[in-house]
Amino acid sequence: MKNLISRLALFVLAAMLLGIGGCKPKEIVTAKLIPLEDFFKNPEKANFQLSPDGKYYAYMAPYMRRMNVFVQEIGKDSASRLTSDTARSIMGFFWGSNSRILFLKDTGGDENFKLFGVNVDGSNLKGLTDFPKVRTEMIDDLPDIDDFVIIGLNKRNPQVFDPYRLNINTGEMTMLAENPGNIQSWYTDHEGKLRMASAIVDGVNTSLLYRETEDQPFKNVLTTSFKESLSPQFFTFDNKNIYASSNLGRDKMAIVEFDPRTGKEVKVLYDNKDFDVDALFYSRARKVLIAARYTSWKRERYFFDKSFEDMVGRMKKEFGDIEFGFSSNNKAEDKYIISTYTDKSMGSYYLYDVKTDKLDKIADLSPWLDEKEMASQLPVEYKSRDGLTINGYLTLPKGYTMKNAKDLPVVVNPHGGPWYRDQWGFNPEVQFLANRGYAVFQMNFRGSTGYGRKFWEASFKQWGKTMQDDITDGVNWLIDQGIADKSRIAIYGGSYGGYATLAGVTFTPDLYAAAVDYVGVSNLFTFMKTIPPYWKPMLDMFYEMVGDPAKDSLLMREASPVFHVDKIKTPLFVAQGANDPRVNKAESDQMVDALKKRGIEVEYMVKDNEGHGFYNEENRFDFYQAMEKFLNTHMAKKAETQAK
């Protein structure tokens, strides 16, 4: 999804991930016990970004337990705080010009993001899209055009976003087009002109629309089923053609050049036989492509540019096996922010000066965590019962290897989405669990992204069925390998992972000793009725991917855990944000009520100031503390019962 909000929020993902603690394994774990808060408190500093002129960097840091925006002149020792929000952390920020920073925030987790602006000296703090019940989406931050950005607002119609050109100093807006009701994405060229759009046709087909100039109407240049896609990355540097990720006529996404006048691919720039190629990067200063990205078990690059490849090589000599990424809002690209991370470290930030070849560390995200006390996240694979290869990750407590890991307590952690994937990298909840003596098992079940169209489509209308079988097959693989103690296996997940948790204890009631459902779907019928208004245009796609309440009512009832609570005997802990716009609180309410009526033990935590994720630090602490106690109690209890 080409949504700047997603990019801006990356720095908080690690802190927002959910975790659970545990009971002692049968063997002694050599890791030092680390306080729970050390895993889940706010980073010390995060999300560093250079100003366009390279004079300043801005970053996020805690103020009164909330992440706020700070700015510091390069070469100076002190920073200035630009925001002072105490109710909820800033979601993210970016530079609007050399002198002005823009930031996004919502209210209580409702995801109706509002855009604000503030000058680097703290003046002219202004709400730019401060409208009630309206969501702001970034279309183009216009890095080469000072004082303006292009945004999308669902102010006129809650279901769709109209594009506006916004003056970031005054707040004046000009609508660039009126959404006819089916456009989901807008695309600009390198001059910030609105030239392309992606629209839903007939509910399930998608069309790519194009125009040569902004005073012309959009014309349809390509229509495909939503199962195929051509996702624009950006225009070619002459603003004529498009670089895009495409799986038209192929299983895996490839990077192609596309001619919008003919509706045809001109050439393939890079494809990979095993994985989707999901991103393309370029140099703004030199106007050349530099690299494409795909993910095997780690993120990998394919280089188009020798200069960038040499810079990556320079960093590899510096950091070794540590993963790193580059960012430069600096127009001259003579300075870069280098962010590093591993599976054992949340990472650090460095300032790299190209002219002097000088690399200076500017911050550690979590200096209180000792990397030597963390556990390794290992890639694994296994076969599903119908022959698919399922890739995943297994994190063993410190002191264990694949050779000596025997009869360990395990937390099975299916990801959310479900059309998403787990990746290698630092995950505070995984490290917390490993520190408490658990093995943590993450798997990219069918439907997970990055493995091609066929693997993705294999998940359609398979909630609670073959998608769940992939999870179950992985658990049985761990048992067969002797790694898992079958009496001490828990399942935990958020969003779709929460659904998979409920499905796990419903459809395989003897497999798990404890379960934790976080903002999970329990009833596919009510879930479809309560989705955010801006998802409504995609409802027919959801019907095809999940199920149609009218045509597939039997299938959806069979797959909805709330209708099968009579099968559940596993102790369950449910957590929910009251303002969740994606998975309505009613999903958790009805599950808890149904279980209580049957006398099944269920703990329920609701946070009134949260949405689809516990964002405030104190709420994360409450959640993990309660989960650690819950899991410790029931995993130990199941093991004792099994022994008798």
Give the active site residues. 495, 580, 612
> Is residue 585 exposed (0-12), middle (13-18) or buried (19+ Cβ within 10 Å)?
middle
Name the residue type at position 96.
G
Residue 637 is inside which H or E element, if any?
helix 617-643
- Residue 80: Cβ within 10 Å count: 15
Mapping DSSP onto H, E and C, the string for 13-64 reads: HHHHCCCCCCCCCCCCCCCCCCCHHHHHCCCCCEEEEECCCCCEEEEEEEEC
Q: Where are the alpha helices (DSSP H) in 509-584?
A: 524-529, 539-545, 553-559
Which strands make up the sheet holding 358-364, listed edge to edge? 323-327, 335-341, 348-353, 358-364
Q: Which residues of 288-309 are buried (b: 16+ CB within 10 A; e: fewer)?
A: ebbbbbbbebeeeebbbbeebe
> Is residue 482 exposed (0-12), middle (13-18) or buried (19+ Cβ within 10 Å)?
exposed
> Cα-flanking dihedrals φ and ψ of residue 341, to 5°?
-165, 160
Closest CA to 529 of 560, 565, 507, 502: 560
C-beta of residue 204 within 8 angstroms of C-beta of residue 544? yes
Cα 161 from chain centroid (whole Å): 22
Structure tokens at 186: 């807008």
d(CA 641, CA 630) in angstroms, rounded, equals 17
d(CA 160, CA 157) in angstroms, rounded, equals 6
Name the residue type at position 571.
P
CA atoms within 13 A of residue 264's CA, in its CB half-sphere: 3
3-state secondary structure of 265: strand
Separation in Å, CA 308 to CA 238, 301, 313:
21, 11, 9
3-state secondary structure of 592: helix
Residue 137 is inside which H or E element, if any?
strand 136-140
As a whole number of Å, the CA-based R_g of the chain is: 24
C-beta of residue 56 within 8 angstroms of C-beta of residue 120? yes
Structure tokens at 640: 């004792």
Question: Cis ω on the peptide bond leading into residue 581 (within 30° of 0)?
Answer: no
Structure tokens at 300: 């990998």
